Amino acid sequence: MIKIETAKQIADKTLDLIEKRRSGNWRSLRTRWKKVNKQTMGGIEPNTIVTIGGMSGSGKTAFANMIVNDFIKDHPGVVTLFFSLEMLPERLFLRSISSEMRVRVRDLFSADIRLNDERMSTVKNELNKLASQRIYYISETCTADEITDIITQFKDRLQHDQILVVVIDHVLLIKGIGQDNVKQMLDHLQTKLNFLKKTGRIIIIQLSQLNRDIETSVRIMNPQLHYPLKSDLSSSDNMYQLSDYVMIIHNPAQLGIISYGIFKVPTKDYIYLHMLKMRDSGKPCVLQLRNDLANNNLIEEGEINLKTEDPGQTELKFNEDK
């Protein structure tokens, strides 16, 4: 039977949530980037879906991994469920160690010089820390229904002080998606995830590829068309509609762009985080991040404030305030 609630019941729930936020008993999970926290609710709050889009190789998996690590450091009650559908979980561990030690993965692999005993000891200590975290990995390809069933099982086992963080990397790799049914399958997944986000203290982070339109010469040659739009998210309108936050991580240097957008900001050593949608919080903007992905880190720097609701159109200013 479908549950029907009165306005009084909803008012009581709303007051309870405000009181919990006021007392600190229910709070957002903070990231390492102050500007990301500022543009959201002081961080990412429970009961939300975060969509992170990007071209292949843009750093979206590394970005999501940083967010998860930040959440774990920020809140002792975080339990993470990571659907690593694209890469082996061992690679994620390597990236986490790389970020903590500020060394390249190739150095951990002794690609040029053999890892010395001192660094090897540090690696073991970092692995012990990772091994003690409540992170659970699924690397087998799953259907949308299998993904949501697994999430439900974990959600139902949460303690009162725990928050479940789910990462799906990435949605186009779920089992059953083919050329003829991509939109149908993704819409089905979005409907399932939207239901789940309302049922407990849960944050869902889903990663998705951009379509190929952003790589066309027409857009590369026209600075006013450089910025990714919501239509660049691959295959699913529901993904944008049902997400609370939509962020596109973009490396224009991948496309041979030297000066980015109408303000001609540099692309060498920079990645840009386009925050296209922030439900009930900030306005669309673009954050400039120094590219330290060799050490699995992104360092925030400037900010481009957008004048309109369409992040592909007119900007107001480039703000260097850190």
CATH for 28-319 is: 3.40.50.300
| Contact criterion met (CB below 8 Å) for 28 and 223 | no
Regarding beta strands 245-250 and 48-54, do their DSSP bridges make them parallel or antiparallel, or are they unpaired? Answer: parallel
How far is CA 269 from its chain centroid?
Answer: 21
pLDDT tens digits, 154-201: 999 988 889 999 999 888 888 877 667 788 888 889 999 999 999 889
Burial of 239 (0-12, 13-18, 19+ CB in 10 A): buried
Q: Is the torsion defined by CA of 33, 37, 42, 47 positive or negative? A: negative
pLDDT average, residue stretch 109-118? 92
| Contact criterion met (CB below 8 Å) for 291 and 254 | no
pLDDT at 312: 43
pLDDT tens digits, 219-237: 999 999 999 998 898 766 7
Regarding beta strands 270-278 and 285-292, do their DSSP bridges make them parallel or antiparallel, or are they unpaired? Answer: antiparallel
Cis check: omega of the bond before 188, within 30 degrees of 0? no
Residue listed under structure tokens 């009650």: 77
pLDDT tens digits, 192-204: 999 999 988 999 9
- Domain ranges across the chain: 28-319
